[in-house]
Structure 1
Amino acid sequence: MSTNPAQAVQPVIGIIGGSGLYEIAGLENKEWRKVETPWGAPSDELLFGTLDGVRCVFLPRHGRGHPLPPSRLNYRANVAAMKMSGVTDIVSLSAVGSLREELPPGHFVIVDQFIDRSFAREKSFFDTGCVAHVSVADPVCPRIGDVAQAKLTEMGIAHTRGGTYLVMEGPQFSTRAESELYRQWGCSVIGMTNMPEAKLAREAEICYATVAMVTDYDCWHQDHDSVTVDAVVRVMKQNADHARALIKAMIPALGAPRGLCPAGCDRALEYALITAPEARDPALVSKLEAVASRVLKAG
């Protein structure tokens, strides 16, 4: 991709690791750092480092050792910490259940849509005093998806490009009736974590994509009740191994200097601010500088 020097972007790749993925192998100059945001502390310290000369920032979504349940994650702080660390692109890894026979345990899905059924989470950086309405019609960056697809193909890992991720609140899993309903809606996988994460990344103008890793079939499947914990753990370990290899392959491909995002992810706030400058709450605007300074400075 040719770049205009005036618009050249030196990518910094952010990785958000889901269940079973608590670090990234192969990073050089590694350093765990505490990052405080205007919305509080993220799930854990962030791991900074480089891979093949590309700057990377890793965050274990649930914290190292997985102490945090989905509903207690500080999604705003997680995404803000990435933005404040200079991250331009986020690859989000997420363990999911399958809602489709053709997506068996061990399969990876490069998600392109979400249905957000969560209800106990703060979902926006914006609030009373500075209102914004951001489009999430196409919630993921196809450029990152292209790289994920290419690398999964090269590595011979079974995967599907495209699919809808149903985000439930949790921490309990679905009832059988809910699982069947989501299948009727055309959903592909189900999990508990990638909303409002994707919405917040869009508000922060960070290119974002989800690679969902199937651990088992959801409870709609006739074999679900016979699945043992040991079997799920084995699949999670295999998925985590594949995810680490995938990230190691994707980072150099995503890290080359580029121009503006063709999909406009890095300009998502261009026409989103509704509140007139003179009516904005100064205290909220001060917080928003951490994620939206580009448009706030433009008035």
Structure 2
Amino acid sequence: MSGSIGIIGGTGLSRLQGLELTEERYINNPYGKPSSTVRKGRLAGREVLFLARHGDPHCIPPHRVNYRANLWALKEAGAEALVAVNAVGGIDPAMGTGHFCVPDQLIDYTWGRDATYFETDLDFVTHIDFAQPYDERLRQTLIDVMKRHGIAHSAHGTYGVTQGPRLETAAEIRRMEADGCDIVGMTGMPEAALARELGLPYACLALVVNPAAGKAEGPITMADIEAVLSSGMDQVQAVLSAFINDV
């Protein structure tokens, strides 16, 4: 792929270390103001575009992210493919704290979000094929990088996307587990579907930062999550630096 790679930073990744910044600007568009500027620069010798999903500083909750504006801005800036970084909870026992997952499926439990570009002023109704929500080439490149670096990961998984900003109840997690979800987070949709509508190949690099509700003794604390993010984001940065030169 010769064009720019867009990276969407989630919780814990408001800035991309090592990015040699060449341009930074807000790209307002028909869908409003994006969460942050689009930062253009070079990472490990390759041109990339970076956008912080929750703003910089981290201040926009998952249900208030302007996903449409974010993805539109990245495409307008020249992105030809997208990799999203997501902090998630682990449902399946294999998804322990600090583990990575490159999901191949998702289930959307969100509601009330602006979830499509095909909404008004249409000449005809448009439906996208979304049977496989993630781009397989991008997925396999992420997987190969983690194999090469010896990073514990799962090459498959179903990402259950909840509304937030609260965490889930134990009963909700039991339902999601019965539905086949392996990880749970709040930002996977409508981001993936919007990327498909824009014709942008899209993959997710998910870091498990806590056991899902009811999967561990005691409450889930932000202090515990932040500790995992602190160490895990170093691995995220290493994966991304290698990924952009392989894709």
Q: Same fold (TM over 0.5)?
A: yes
Question: Residues 229 and 76 (structure 1 numbering): CA distance in 2 closer, same or farther, change over 3 Å?
Answer: closer
Higher strand share: 2
Conserved? CA contact 1:111–1:162, under 8 Å: yes
Aligned counterpart in structure 1 of residue 235 of structure 2, from 239, 242, 264: 242
Letter in 1 for 2:107: I
Give the structure 2 partner of residue 168 of structure 1: 162
CA-CA distance at 1:153 after TM superposition? 1.1
Aligned residues: 245
Aligned counterpart in structure 2 of residue 66 of structure 1, from 58, 62, 68: 58
- SS for the counterpart of 1:179 is helix
Conserved? CA contact 1:17–1:93, under 8 Å: yes
CA-CA distance at 1:31 after TM superposition? 2.8
CA-CA distance at 1:252 after TM superposition? 1.1
Give the structure 2 partner of residue 190 of structure 1: 184
Map 1:111-260 → 2, pairs under 5 A: 111-130=103-122, 131-223=125-217, 225=218, 228-254=221-247
Conserved? CA contact 1:96–1:215, under 8 Å: yes
- SS for the counterpart of 1:88 is strand
CA-CA distance at 1:53 after TM superposition? 3.8
Conserved? CA contact 2:213–2:220, under 8 Å: no
* Superimposed CA distance per residue, residues 237-256 of structure 1 (whole angstroms, 9 cap, x where no aligned partner): 112111111111111112xx
Higher helix share: 1
Give the structure 2 partner of residue 33 of structure 1: 25
CA-CA distance at 1:155 after TM superposition? 1.4
Is there any run of 5+ residues in structure 2 with no aligned partner, and where?
Answer: none
Letter in 1 for 2:41: G
Aligned counterpart in structure 1 of residue 38 of structure 2, from 46, 53, 56: 46
Letter in 2 for 1:186: G
Letter in 2 for 1:59: L
Aligned CA-pair RMSD: 1.3
CA-CA distance at 1:11 after TM superposition? 2.1
- SS for the counterpart of 2:227 is helix
If the length of structure 2 is used for normalisation, what is the TM-score? 0.95
Separation of aligned partners in 2, 1:209 and 1:113: 10
The answer to whether structure 1 residue 75 and structure 2 residue 67 are counterparts is: yes
CA-CA distance at 1:175 after TM superposition? 1.2
Q: Considering only CA atoms, is the larger Rg found in Structure 1 or Structure 2? A: 1
Separation of aligned partners in 2, 1:30 and 1:86: 14
CA-CA distance at 1:226 after TM superposition? 5.2
Give the structure 2 partner of residue 275 of structure 1: none
* Superimposed CA distance per residue, residues 86-108 of structure 1 (whole angstroms, 9 cap, x where no aligned partner): 10110100000010111100000
Letter in 1 for 2:195: A
Separation of aligned partners in 1, 2:88 and 2:140: 21
Question: Residues 30 and 115 (structure 1 numbering): CA distance in 2 closer, same or farther, change over 3 Å?
Answer: same
Conserved? CA contact 2:4–2:48, under 8 Å: yes
* Superimposed CA distance per residue, residues 204-259 of structure 1 (whole angstroms, 9 cap, x where no aligned partner): 00010001110011112142x255443221111112111111111111112xxxxx
Conserved? CA contact 1:99–1:220, under 8 Å: no
- SS for the counterpart of 2:42 is strand
CA-CA distance at 1:80 after TM superposition? 0.4
Conserved? CA contact 1:88–1:206, under 8 Å: yes
Separation of aligned partners in 2, 1:158 and 1:196: 27
Is there any run of 5+ residues in structure 1 with no aligned partner, and where?
Answer: 1-8, 255-299
Conserved? CA contact 2:26–2:36, under 8 Å: yes
Give the structure 1 partner of residue 6 of structure 2: 14
Structure 1 window deviating more from structure 2 (68-77 vs 26-35): it is: 26-35
Give the structure 2 partner of residue 260 of structure 1: none
